[in-house]
Amino acid sequence: MDTSEQCTATAGHQCKHNRSSAGGCANCAVRLVSVCGALELSELEELERISQVTAFAPKTMLFDQGALANNVFNITEGVVRLYKSLPDGRRQIMGFALPGDFLGLALMDRYGVTAEAITPVKVCRFQRSAFVHYIDDKPHLLRRLHEFAGHELSLAQDQMLLLGRKTAEEKVAAFLVNLQARYARIGPMSVTIALPMGRQDIADYLGLTIETVSRTLTKLAREKTVLIVPDGVRLLSSERLDHLTAA
C-alpha cells in the first residue's frame, strides 16, 4: 500500500471502524449531498461492503500527484487541499475538498493532483476497480457521477476566470462567497465562514501573494465588509461582497 494512503489514526495501519456504531452509510451526515445520494438503502448496504472508513491527520496525504490511482475517496469529515506541484518547486492549489466531495475517479491511471488533509479528515475509501465494477449496473449512480463531474468542470472554468480577469479584492470576495455557499450545502447557512486553510493556501489558490491576501482582508475589515474572527471571517455586508463577486 502507498504510505500516503495509510490511516494515521492507528500509527500507519489501516483503520477499520465498526460502521454499525456510527449507523452505517444510511445515516451518513453527508450522504444526500454526495454521490451516494442516488442510491437506495439496499444499494447502500452493498456499497458499505466494499468501502473502508479511513482517517487522516492534518498534513497527511490521501494520495500523491503521479501515484497510481488505486483508490477513490468520499470525504465525510474535514477539509482537504488539492494541489499540483510545478517543475520549479512551486505549487498551484486547485481547490479545497469538503465533506460530500468525491475524489480520485478520473479517467487517468495516475492521480493528477496531490490531496492533503488540512484538518482531521475521514473518508470512505474504495478500491477503484471494485467501485468501477459496483457502478457498472447502476446507471442512476453513473448519472450522479456525471453531474458531479460537470459541476467540477464548471468550478474549474470559474477558477480560470478568477485567476485571469479579476482584481485581488474581487478574488478574495469571490472566494469567501463561494466557500459560504459550499458550507451551506452541508449545514445551515452562516455569515461566519471557517477558514481552516492558511493565508498561504488562499494565496496559492487565488494566484496572489500572501501579503496581498492579508492586505485585502484587512481592507475589507476596515471597510466593515467582513470581520476577522478566530479561525475565519464573519461576512458583514453580503451586498458589497456580491457586488465584488459579480464584477
Q: pLDDT tens for residues 32-44?
A: 788 888 888 888 8
Q: How does residue 52 score in pLDDT terms, banded at 50, 70 and 90?
A: very high
Summarize the confidence of residues 137-144 as an average pLDDT. Answer: 85
Mean of pLDDT values over 202-219: 95
Domain ranges, ordered by start, for the chain: 3-157, 166-246
Report whether pLDDT(2) > 60.
no
Q: In this predicted model, what pLDDT tens digit does every residue of 98-115 receive, in sequence order?
A: 999 989 877 678 998 999
Range 116-136 average pLDDT: 93
Residue 13: predicted pLDDT:
33
Report the distance separating Cα 130 and Cα 185, nearest Å.
Answer: 28
- Look at residue 10 and tell me whether its pLDDT is greater than 70: no
First to last CA, the chain: 47
Q: Has domain 3-157 been given CATH number 3.60.15.10?
A: no
Structure confidence at residue 24 as a pLDDT band (50, 70, 90): confident
pLDDT at 20: 36
Say what the pLDDT of residue 8 is. 38
Q: Which CATH class is domain 166-246?
A: mainly alpha
Are domains 3-157 and 166-246 of this chain identical in fold?
no
Mean per-residue pLDDT for 80-108? Answer: 87
Q: Rounded mean pLDDT of 59-82?
A: 94
What share of the chain in percent tops pLDDT 90? 53
Q: What's the CA gap between 82 and 103, in Å, rounded? A: 10
pTM over 0.85: no
Write down the pLDDT at residue 32.
Answer: 79
Instruction: Tell me which of 39-48, 115-124, 197-206 is least confident.
Output: 39-48
Please give the pLDDT value at position 236: 97
User: 71 or 86: which carries more pLDDT confidence?
Assistant: 71
Q: How confident is the model at residue 46 (pLDDT cuts 50, 70, 90)?
A: confident
Contact 182, 217 (CB under 8 A): no
Question: pLDDT digit string (tens) for 215-242?
Answer: 999 999 999 999 999 999 999 999 999 9
Residue with the bigger pLDDT between 95 and 14: it is: 95
